[in-house]
Amino acid sequence: MCPPRFFTVDYAINPWMDPERPVDTDRAMAQWTALRDLYLSLGHTVDVVEPQPGLPDMVFAANSATVLDGRVLGARFRARQRAAEAEHFRRWFVENGYRDVTMPRRINEAEGDFAWTGSLLLAGTGFRTDREAHAEAQETLGAAVVSLRLVDPRYYHLDTALFVLTEATETVPASVVYYPDAFSAGSRRVLERLFPGAVLAEEADAACFGCNGVSDGRNVVLPVEATGLAERLAAEGYVPHFVDISELRKAGGGPKCCTMEIRK
């Protein structure tokens, strides 16, 4: 994770961002701190990358690498305003003992557009990550990639429209939450085939970034507004935990965007 010490919205690269609307950086810091503390209280380890002045979106750590079996595939951002973030994260991995670090050649916004199901790497395209980056990720990470096309600019990254609740095991398929309207017709059919038991988010849950949840297979971290989704997940035996992300959402981010999951 990366604290939003230099968080602002002074450019607009997705429909949520409005540079005219004021942002409270202290409040963003408090919201981020509450998210980090929640992970710690749930028994997870949190590594922190130093934020950099002039990189206000660096708080969205999920966009800067995809890590599987200790192999790190870095990022290459579409927007020039975010380009420099990738190198700060690359350096962090190298300095922290990760020996297999590859930087992509194609536009690749990392976990913003890649979701590991335990057996497959779901990969979004349409707004940010290049389709060709999917093949690159398959080759670098050695994981079978399933490409999915996003069609609604409000859901510009895969992680704004889908998250994995429980990873697949040898015997049990993965469980996922997704918002069908964010995907092309063909990609919706792919998702139906792969995840017939998926929890389908409704518009209200998607619009508050409810599909940007983080699950450890039991605890599910959601924006406080995603009450409908939380109830449905609770009925399936999950434990919802709410966080207030109102400031971070002004940049088009939620809990998952702030969280890069390191799979060693």
Long-range contacts of 174-179 (CB under 8 A, 24+ apart): 174/117, 174/118, 174/119, 174/120, 175/199, 176/115, 176/117, 177/201, 177/210, 177/211, 177/213, 177/229, 177/233, 178/211, 179/155, 179/203, 179/205, 179/206, 179/211
Selected binder of ligand ARG within 162, 191, 194, 251 (CB under 6 A): 251
Q: Please report whether residue 60 would count as binding ligand ARG according to CB under 6 A.
A: yes
Q: Would you say 223 and 210 are in contact if contact means Cβ atoms under 8 Å apart?
A: yes
State yes or no: residue 3 binds ligand ARG (CB under 6 A).
no
Task: Name which of residues 186 to 215 contact ligand ARG (CB under 6 A).
Answer: none
Indicate the residue type of 130. Answer: D
**Catalytic site residue 257?**
yes
What phi, psi does 129 have (nearest 5°)? -65, 135
Q: Quick count: other Cβ atoms within 10 Å of Cβ 55?
A: 17
Is 147 a binding residue for ligand ARG by CB under 6 A? The answer is: no
Residue 68 in the binding site for ligand ARG (CB under 6 A): no
Out of 157, 208, 211, 241, the active site residue is 157
At its nearest, how many Å lie between ligand ARG and the CB of residue 262?
A: 15
**Per CB under 6 A, does 253 bind ligand ARG?**
yes
Does residue 247 contact residue 7 with C-beta atoms inside 8 Å? yes
Closest residue to ligand ARG in the complex (CB): 257
Residue 132: CB minimum distance to ligand ARG, A: 20
Does position 157 bind ligand ARG by CB under 6 A? Answer: yes
The least CB distance from residue 83 to ligand ARG, in Å, is: 11
150 binds ligand ARG (CB under 6 A): no
Residue 140: closest CA among 47, 70, 49: 70
Question: Does residue 249 touch ligand ARG according to CB under 6 A?
Answer: no
Q: Is 157 a catalytic residue?
A: yes
> Can residue 160 be called a binding residue for ligand ARG (CB under 6 A)?
yes
62 binds ligand ARG (CB under 6 A): yes
CA dihedral for 244, 248, 250, 256, sign (positive or negative): negative
Hey, what amino acid is at 109?
E
* Dihedral angle computed from the Cα positions of residues 229, 56, 21 and 124, in that order, rounded to the nearest 10 degrees: -40
Judged by beta carbon, residue 222 or residue 257, the one nearer ligand ARG is 257
Q: Which residues bind ligand ARG (CB under 6 A)?
A: 13-14, 17, 57, 60, 62-63, 82, 112, 157, 159-160, 251-253, 257
Question: Which residues participate in catalysis according to the annotation?
Answer: 157, 257
